[in-house]
Structure 1
Amino acid sequence: MKQRLAVAFTGPSNSGKTTLIEKLARRLVGEYAVAIVKNDPKDKATFDVEGKDSWKFFQTGAEVVVTSPTRTTLFSHRQKNLEEIVAMLGDFDYLLVEGLKTLPLPRIAIFRGAIDESYFDYSEAIAIDDTVDPGAYDIPDHIDILDLNDTEAILAWVKNHAKAL
């Protein structure tokens, strides 16, 4: 089996996590199989339309899979751990995870405007833009500082630090 690599991204709301992951995925997809997991800690995402068959099925409490010629979607009532998610995803080269800060993965914390130092405990790197002065913070030596607007440098960090699953 080929090596599958994973890295996570974290940060406050509206810090640019989704935008960065989207940029990285677009760069990787031409050469690699990419999977993305997004955490929804406030349970506010909506994935189905009320009244549709899949919505009706999900309301029964059952696990629901909707399949079509172009996609397969799982609606689950149970939270999945990383191993279960990886098993469901099947074949991939890179797994990009947004959130889920308790997962033991190399992690880039993303900040604009200000750094929340509480993220240092579970981050190996921070990505900041020019609205943040890193000199104003006591950033631990083991944390790499990346330019949020330099997708190529962040991609290189990901390739060098991603964890084999």
Structure 2
Amino acid sequence: MKSLAVAFTGPSDSGKTTLILKVAALLKRDYTLAIVKNDPSDKAHFDVEGKDSWKFSQTGAEVVVTSPTRTTLFSKRHKTLDDIIAMLGNFDFLLVEGLKTLPLPRIAVFRGKLNESYFDCSDAIAVDETVNLNDYTLPSTITILDLNNPEQVVAWIMQNAKKVR
């Protein structure tokens, strides 16, 4: 068990989820994975109104639904990254989408144009051919990755992911 983590950040519709899916497909061949997705606008819904688990979660309690194939936690309390890592159990790689304030190695994902406000919190940027890097002054500390080359992204993760336990 490696317990290494890396984060992905970037504007909406930049390709973060697609890249994470491609990276996960490559990593899952040899490693166990965990993925955390941030929902900054609190718009995701994970249960159906009227069902028992929804009724239980409306009480404000921590609710766990278990079945032969999965376990789901419905929590009404904020969890820190350390709390989440403890709940996840064993994993080799944790891929985090969002949460740009976490102290994790971070890949910012862009299509069309760069948003320079991400430079301070990014260790690498993944871009496609729609971004003209000559239009920007990039910090020398940022590695440039090809958004369409998940093998290259995985290689960067292998070298830069942070041990989280």
The residue aligned with 2:35 is 36
TM-score norm. by structure 1 comes to 0.98
The residue aligned with 2:156 is 157
| Cα displacement string for residues 3-41 of structure 1 (whole angstroms, at most 9, x for unaligned residues) | 310000000000000000011111111210000000000
* Counterpart secondary structure, 1:83: helix
Q: Letter of the aligned partner of 2:40 in structure 1? A: P
Indicate conservation of the 8 Å contact 2:8/2:107, yes or no.
yes
The residue aligned with 2:120 is 121
Q: Letter of the aligned partner of 2:39 in structure 1? A: D
| Cα displacement string for residues 33-82 of structure 1 (whole angstroms, at most 9, x for unaligned residues) | 00000000000001000000000000111110000010000000111101
* Counterpart secondary structure, 1:95: strand
* Counterpart secondary structure, 2:125: strand
Identity of aligned residues (%): 68
The residue aligned with 1:146 is 145
Indicate conservation of the 8 Å contact 2:2/2:93, yes or no.
no
| Cα displacement string for residues 86-138 of structure 1 (whole angstroms, at most 9, x for unaligned residues) | 00000000000000001000000000001000000100000000000011011
2:84 is aligned with 1:85: yes
Q: Letter of the aligned partner of 1:152 in structure 2? A: E
* Number of positions where the alignment pairs a residue of Structure 1 with one of Structure 2: 164
Alignment of 1:63-74 (within 5 A): 63-74=62-73
Q: Letter of the aligned partner of 1:84 in structure 2? A: D
Structure 1 runs of 4+ aligned residues shifted over 2 Å read none
5+ residue gaps, structure 2, are none
Q: Letter of the aligned partner of 1:32 in structure 2? A: Y
Structure-2 separation of matches of 1:75 and 1:21: 24
Q: Letter of the aligned partner of 1:115 in structure 2? A: L
Q: Letter of the aligned partner of 1:98 in structure 2? A: E
Structure-2 separation of matches of 1:35 and 1:62: 24
